[in-house]
Chain A
Amino acid sequence: MDAGQNRREHMNIVIVGHVDHGKSTVIGRLLADTGALPQGKLEQIREMCRRNDKPFEYAFLLDALKDERSQGITIDTARCFFHTQKRQYIIIDAPGHIEFLKNMITGASRAAAALLVIDASEGVRENSRRHGYMLSMLGIRQICVMVNKMDLVDYDRAAYEGIVAEYGRFLKEIGITPEGFIPVSAREGDNIAVKSGNMPWYSGPTVLETLDEFRAPGSLDALPLRMPVQDVYKFTHGDARRIIAGTVETGALKAGDEVVFYPSGKRTHVNRIEPMRPDEAEGVASAGWAAGFTMTEQIYVRRGELCTRACDMPPKVARRVRVSLFWLGRTPMAPGKTYFLKTGAAKLECRLETVLSVMDAASLHRVRKEEIDRHEVAECVLAMSRLCAFDDTGDLAATNRFVIVDDYEISGGGIFAEALPEAPEELRSGGCAWRTGDVAPEERAALLGGRPRMLLISGASAEDVHRVAASLERLLLEAGQSAYYLGVAAGADAGTRAATLQALPERARLLMNAGVTLIAAAAGLTAEEEDALRMHVSSDRAETYWVGDGCPLDCPSYPARDAARAIMARCAGQPRG
């Protein structure tokens, strides 16, 4: 065996299909016919079969787990390795049982191409269609359909062609053009690695030949830069660097580039792509690389922002979005409940505002309903608690996708279709229903001469914080800006303080909607408290300042006597649009 002789190219392939249509046998056969089985493993399984008095089957190779063997179905995604002359393959076995769709998605999302297995004797089944649909939703465009167990239908051409016609129609409906259909018998080895003598009527390629025809994903370097900020590193031990870290999803970045962060809109220049090894002068920041850079002008950004280049097409920024999503949760996705949406490195609270339509992924039937049940695919409107940066084109796949977290679990995934304007019902809260006028925020900002901000003031001393907030209010009013100082009372006990901080965002939003800059003050803010307060405001409209020494937050700090003027100067120096 020449394992790894040609290691230039690797490709992940997922294998999907209805339960018992023979996926595991296909994999076992692929491994055996390419000489990819480690000696120890085959003996181990043979020994196990002998002891349990079962005939050896290729599928047992993959059933390495006890509870799997007892149930007789593949319950999770297992990985196997084999190679052809062209490249090394990692084949991901995705289970066929309906309850395990989340495992199939886990496997398929790592793959560049898919093999879909249909039993020639059973024909197209529910999961044949559901899996095909999920592959399209997951963005996998290279699909080869294997019509398996041809030996059970006496290698009958008509049986094969009936399935090709039926499933080909379905794929066409969901916009997939398969690389091809292949009649195979995995058990007998027909058309897997070698052409079958049992089906002279089939002149197409074998499965291995088709795999080698799949194209590896091309370079994403030429696309607009999308680098979700995963973290900002500032280490001690004499290392002064402040490094913006993240994985480059698309595009490329180099020293000197001007970058813009979304949704905040903050800008700076790249000082250096930081090298990961001390013996390198500069690191790499192109598509696929985990990267990090230092900035020429220090700005405060945090995890969750999306870094792009100033010269690139900007992402969309919105709080309300139209999406299509698939639901995996045990309880339906329902309006009124709070979920988390994760995209890139951002995590935002979100609600299901409206379900536009729901589709059964197996039948493609669309219905109108209020909730989204498990394994359904829906078009819907989501409303997030704050602004989110994303892309609405499949070319920028990574930033076009999101997942939904419900009760600690990833329970759904979806694709951003469109940014939507703010809804008037935003003020609906606490059991009340309000009505507002028709002045858009931009219009109000233009009329008032600037959009309002939230200035969050904290510090170790409650007295200093109060003095700074009060003078800042005066300075802003004297400069002709609407400002209002609302802080946590100095003597408040812990419970009162927490309750006040919790009540602050709603008041802040009301004031800011009215065009007033809010000076929110509370001594001794923790990073979590700061996050909770800022979460409701777009990050380019919120700033945090620390009064005095020992700042525990990632924000500028000033001595008490200079703070109000320094903050005022910073406000004046920033665009007010």
Chain B
Amino acid sequence: MEHLDQLEARSIHIIREAYSQFKNLCMLWSIGKDSTVLLCLARKAFYGHVPFPLVHIDTHYKIPEMIEYRDMLARKWHLDMVYGENARALAEKTTFPDGTATRLECCRLLKTEALTHTLDGTWPRYRMNHDTGLYERDRNTEPYTGVIVGVRADEEGSRSKERYFSPRDRNNDWDIGDQPPEFWGQYKTDFRPGTHIRVHPLLDWTELDVWEYIRREGVPVVSLYFNHGDGLRYRSLGCWPCTKPVESDASTLDEIVEELKTGKFANIAERSGREQDKEDGGGLEELRKGGYM
């Protein structure tokens, strides 16, 4: 088996395991390359179907092209598309771009809190009505007990400690010091009422694996990842106030793969364009304990 085939098979096994074991399962779709690869793996796992909702946390500071792309694919592939948001923080303008919160506080409000309350169903969810193509308030407010997420172990320190099936307690906490054992392809699929499990099918993938897979499988990705002539492209996508493009001439998949293999990025961390990572030594770990993806 080739390396990408091995990665694909394990990821599909994990996605299928999650689907079989969790009644209220969803997949988080950030519209970035990793979770879009995850979406395509799900379509392979279930032979063209995606039998669970895709949940997107809309911070309203995402680069507009990302939202257009999200809805375009949702319609084309008939995805059960759901989004949630922190309506209060947005209304009260307690965000970093409004100048009333630090980057990390803003992440906590617009991403972590919105995510927590969207997953547990205590804040409104909006679901795409495929007859109209518009979003409507979702009547389903049941908590999701299984959440598939596209994190990779090589992204940054705290993610390298994750399990494929990682429990979160009632407060959404991640107890890194006391994680369940995971071996022989058997995962933690039993959980106490009120807790939920994060499922990480892409844990073993690297950034290069992801791009090589995108190239091999023809996974559609947002054009922001490519240079359009100005010598800039995004390497990691987030909210526009906190995500900077990197200098790069790569305008095709081949060029991106080549750049990662041999070029200047071989020695630069992928999330170096993400400003929130730099605010504090263990900032991202703290966010992740609280539920950040």
Given A64, A328, A342, A401, which contacts B158 in the complex, CB threshold below 8 Å? Answer: A64
**A-chain residues with CB within 8 Å of residue B188 when the two chains form the complex:** 408-410
How far, in Å, is A70 (CB) from chain B's closest CB?
10
Given B6, B8, B45, B180, which contacts A410 in the complex, CB threshold below 8 Å? Answer: B180
Asked if B153 lies at the interface with its beta carbon under 8 angstroms from chain A, I say yes
Sort A-B residue pairs by CB-CB distance and give the 3 closest, nearest first.
A64-B157, A109-B183, A40-B269
**B-chain residues with CB within 8 Å of residue A81 when the two chains form the complex:** 154, 206
Cβ–Cβ contact B176 & A75, under 8 A: yes
CA–CA, A106 to B260, complex, Å? 30
Given A41, A48, A274, which contacts B269 in the complex, CB threshold below 8 Å? Answer: A41
**B-chain residues with CB within 8 Å of residue A163 when the two chains form the complex:** none
Cβ–Cβ contact A408 & B190, under 8 A: yes
How far, in Å, is B276 (CB) from chain A's closest CB?
14
CA–CA, A224 to B9, complex, Å? 20
Other A-B pairs, 8, CB within 8 Å; known A235-B51, A410-B180: A7-B208, A66-B286, A67-B177, A81-B206, A235-B49, A243-B47, A247-B12, A288-B1
Comparing B14-22, B58-66, B104-112, B233-241, the segment that makes contact with chain A is B14-22
Give me the interface of B with A, judged by CB distance under 8 Å.
1, 3, 5-6, 8-10, 12-13, 16-17, 19-20, 44-49, 51, 78, 153-154, 156-158, 160-161, 163, 176-177, 179-186, 188, 190-192, 204, 206, 208, 217, 260-262, 266-269, 272, 281-282, 285-286
CA–CA, A398 to B48, complex, Å? 29
Given A48, A64, A76, A409, which contacts B190 in the complex, CB threshold below 8 Å? Answer: A409
**A-chain residues with CB within 8 Å of residue B192 when the two chains form the complex:** 408
Query: Nearest B residue to A289 by beta-carbon distance?
Result: B9
Q: A2-B262, A64-B160, A65-B176 are in contact. Are A398 and B185 (CB under 8 A)?
A: yes
What are 25 contact pairs spanning A and B, CB under 8 A?
A: A1-B267, A2-B261, A3-B260, A5-B262, A9-B3, A40-B267, A64-B156, A67-B176, A77-B161, A78-B153, A78-B161, A79-B154, A105-B181, A106-B182, A108-B183, A230-B20, A233-B46, A235-B47, A235-B49, A243-B47, A247-B185, A288-B1, A290-B10, A409-B188, A410-B182
Count chain A residues whose beta carbon lies closer than 8 angstroms to a beta carbon of B: 69
A window 108-138: CB within 8 A of B: 108-110, 138
CA–CA, A8 to B212, complex, Å? 13
CA–CA, A342 to B186, complex, Å? 7
How far, in Å, is B46 (CB) from chain A's closest CB?
6
How far, in Å, is A41 (CB) from chain B's closest CB?
6
Give me the interface of A with B, judged by CB distance under 8 Å.
1-5, 7-10, 37-41, 44, 48, 51, 64-67, 75-81, 88, 90, 102-103, 105-106, 108-110, 138, 230-231, 233, 235, 237, 239, 241, 243, 245, 247, 274, 276-278, 288-290, 292, 303, 328, 340, 342, 345, 398, 401, 403, 405, 408-410, 413
CA–CA, A40 to B157, complex, Å? 12
CA–CA, A342 to B184, complex, Å? 10
Given B16, B160, B181, which contacts A102 in the complex, CB threshold below 8 Å? Answer: B181
**A-chain residues with CB within 8 Å of residue B191 when the two chains form the complex:** 408
Cβ–Cβ contact B49 & A247, under 8 A: no
Cβ–Cβ contact B46 & A235, under 8 A: yes
Cβ–Cβ contact B184 & A289, under 8 A: no
Query: Nearest A residue to B257 by beta-carbon distance?
Result: A4
Cβ–Cβ contact B47 & A40, under 8 A: no
**A-chain residues with CB within 8 Å of residue B10 when the two chains form the complex:** 290
**A-chain residues with CB within 8 Å of residue B8 when the two chains form the complex:** 290
**B-chain residues with CB within 8 Å of residue A278 when the two chains form the complex:** 48
**A-chain residues with CB within 8 Å of residue B185 when the two chains form the complex:** 247, 398
Cβ–Cβ contact B156 & A288, under 8 A: no
CA–CA, A138 to B49, complex, Å? 36
Cβ–Cβ contact B282 & A39, under 8 A: no
**B-chain residues with CB within 8 Å of residue A237 when the two chains form the complex:** 49, 78
CA–CA, A409 to B268, complex, Å? 39
How far, in Å, is B244 (CB) from chain A's closest CB?
14
How far, in Å, is A285 (CB) from chain B's closest CB?
11
CA–CA, A458 to B74, complex, Å? 39
CA–CA, A148 to B95, complex, Å? 51
How far, in Å, is B37 (CB) from chain A's closest CB?
14
Cβ–Cβ contact B177 & A290, under 8 A: no
**B-chain residues with CB within 8 Å of residue A48 when the two chains form the complex:** 281
Given A65, A102, A292, which contacts B180 in the complex, CB threshold below 8 Å? Answer: A102
Cβ–Cβ contact A241 & B47, under 8 A: yes
Q: A401-B184, A403-B186, A410-B180 are in contact. Are A39 and B267 (CB under 8 A)?
A: yes
Q: A235-B47, A276-B47 are in contact. Are A66 and B282 (CB under 8 A)?
A: yes
**B-chain residues with CB within 8 Å of residue A64 when the two chains form the complex:** 156-158, 160, 285
**A-chain residues with CB within 8 Å of residue B46 when the two chains form the complex:** 233, 235
Cβ–Cβ contact A78 & B160, under 8 A: yes
**A-chain residues with CB within 8 Å of residue B19 when the two chains form the complex:** 231
Cβ–Cβ contact A38 & B267, under 8 A: yes
**A-chain residues with CB within 8 Å of residue B45 when the two chains form the complex:** 245, 276, 290
How far, in Å, is B68 (CB) from chain A's closest CB?
25
Cβ–Cβ contact A79 & B261, under 8 A: no
Given B9, B153, B183, B190, which contacts A79 in the complex, CB threshold below 8 Å? Answer: B153
CA–CA, A342 to B205, complex, Å? 27
**A-chain residues with CB within 8 Å of residue B180 when the two chains form the complex:** 102, 409-410
How far, in Å, is B216 (CB) from chain A's closest CB?
11
How far, in Å, is B204 (CB) from chain A's closest CB?
7
CA–CA, A206 to B102, complex, Å? 49
**B-chain residues with CB within 8 Å of residue A340 when the two chains form the complex:** 190
How far, in Å, is B193 (CB) from chain A's closest CB?
10
Cβ–Cβ contact B16 & A4, under 8 A: no
How far, in Å, is A368 (CB) from chain B's closest CB?
27
Cβ–Cβ contact A66 & B281, under 8 A: yes
Cβ–Cβ contact B78 & A40, under 8 A: no
Query: Nearest B residue to A52 by beta-carbon distance?
Result: B281
How far, in Å, is B22 (CB) from chain A's closest CB?
12
Cβ–Cβ contact A3 & B47, under 8 A: no
CA–CA, A9 to B6, complex, Å? 11
Cβ–Cβ contact A289 & B49, under 8 A: no
How far, in Å, is A81 (CB) from chain B's closest CB?
6
Given A3, A106, A109, A230, which contacts B13 in the complex, CB threshold below 8 Å? Answer: A230
How far, in Å, is A62 (CB) from chain B's closest CB?
8
Query: Nearest A residue to B161 by beta-carbon distance?
Result: A76
Cβ–Cβ contact B16 & A290, under 8 A: yes
CA–CA, A440 to B51, complex, Å? 46
Cβ–Cβ contact A75 & B177, under 8 A: yes
Most buried by A among B153, B157, B158, B269: B157
CA–CA, A38 to B266, complex, Å? 7
Q: A81-B154, A230-B16, A276-B47 are in contact. Are A289 and B181 (CB under 8 A)?
A: no
Cβ–Cβ contact A403 & B153, under 8 A: no
**B-chain residues with CB within 8 Å of residue A288 when the two chains form the complex:** 1, 5-6, 9
CA–CA, A557 to B206, complex, Å? 49
**B-chain residues with CB within 8 Å of residue A409 when the two chains form the complex:** 180, 188, 190
**A-chain residues with CB within 8 Å of residue B5 when the two chains form the complex:** 288-289
**B-chain residues with CB within 8 Å of residue A40 when the two chains form the complex:** 267-269, 272
Query: Nearest B residue to A233 by beta-carbon distance?
Result: B46
